[in-house]
């Protein structure tokens, strides 16, 4: 089997109202709260997890300096078809296994006074759309097994600057062949994706050996055991 991520373990979303988010996901969507604790290594910050499945969660980060203001088209899209700042979540779609479950969940959401658009058929998935607290754009869908030969539009491919040879490489990524030894962290390159830290901090953090990061930065004790 080719090596690549096999799902979303958790999607972390900024919040200023942890209670409202966890309540919405529990009451409206039926997702049980599984964790709520001080975020490891971040002063004054809470972390909450609501379960989608045994290995997939929606998470929330309540940082004391999270901004209050929503700017439509900048911080939030507002719905599945509107613009938003690059790199920001446009919307998130959750999965169910059957169309019948999709309809049942639609009715559950509506029974809590939340409007739902759909479902509608996109061909390889069937979807419905609604909003969550703090301006979240949410979707629930059913479907799997996208046929890339049918669903890659040559016109859109060209508009994205992707030629036919590059498209084939995107459809069939190279396998990674590990030579046995761990790969060392590369030197900082401003042209490569990198995390944002205050000046000078990123270089220090990334220079820490992996075994030291594991030993010094890990925190595995549940908070109830710290009482």
pLDDT in tens, 166-191: 999 999 999 988 888 888 899 888 89
pLDDT tens-digit profile of 199-216?
A: 889 999 999 999 999 999
Residue 201 within a domain: no
Q: Give the pLDDT band (50/70/90) at residue 226.
A: low
Residue 3 within a domain: no
Print the domain residue range for 118. Answer: 76-143
* 13-23 average pLDDT score: 97
pLDDT tens-digit profile of 60-90?
A: 999 999 999 999 999 999 999 999 999 999 9
Exposure pattern of 173-205 as b/e (b: 16+ CB <10 Å)? eeeeeeeeeeeeeeeeeeeeeeeeeeeeeeeee
Final residue belonging to a domain, choices 24, 52, 68: 68
Helix spans in 148-200 (H): 148-151, 154-159, 164-171
Percent of the chain with pLDDT over 90: 82
Q: Give the pLDDT band (50/70/90) at residue 224.
A: confident
Residue 94 within a domain: yes
Residues 34 and 44 in one domain: yes
CATH of the domain at 103: 3.10.180.10
By the 8 A CB rule, do 127 and 118 touch? yes
Residue 81 within a domain: yes
By the 8 A CB rule, do 60 and 22 touch? yes
For the chain, how many structural domains are there in total?
Answer: 3
CA atoms within a 13 Å half-sphere pointing along the CA-CB vector of 163: 1
Residues 41 and 18 in one domain: yes
Residues 157 and 132 in one domain: no
Residue 34 within a domain: yes
What is the structure's pLDDT at 179?
Answer: 82
Residue 181 within a domain: no
Residue 84 within a domain: yes
What is the structure's pLDDT at 125?
Answer: 97
Residues 119 and 152 in one domain: no
Residues 112 and 55 in one domain: no
């Amino acid at each position: 089997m080719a090596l690549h991520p096999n799902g979303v373990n958790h999607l972390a979303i900024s919040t200023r109202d942890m209670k409202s988010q966890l309540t919405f996901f529990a009451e409206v969507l039926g997702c049980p709260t599984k964790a709520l604790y001080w975020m490891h290594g971040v002063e004054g910050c809470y972390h909450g997890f609501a379960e989608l499945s045994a290995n997939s969660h929606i998470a929330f980060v309540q940082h004391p300096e999270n901004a209050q203001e929503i700017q439509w088209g900048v911080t939030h899209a507002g719905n599945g078809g509107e613009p938003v700042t690059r790199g920001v979540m446009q919307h998130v779609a959750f999965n169910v296994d059957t169309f019948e479950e999709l309809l049942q969940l639609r009715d559950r959401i509506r029974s809590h006074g939340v409007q739902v658009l759909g479902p509608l058929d996109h061909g390889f998935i069937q979807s419905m759309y609604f909003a969550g607290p703090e301006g979240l754009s949410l979707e629930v869908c059913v479907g799997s097994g996208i046929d890339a030969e049918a669903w890659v539009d040559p016109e859109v491919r060209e508009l994205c600057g992707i030629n036919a040879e590059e498209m084939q490489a995107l459809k069939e990524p190279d396998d990674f062949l590990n030579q046995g030894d761990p790969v060392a962290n590369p030197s900082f390159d401003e042209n490569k994706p990198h995390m944002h830290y205050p000046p000078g901090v990123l270089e220090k953090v990334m220079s820490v050996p992996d075994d030291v990061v594991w030993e010094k930065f890990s925190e595995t004790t549940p908070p109830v055991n710290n009482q």
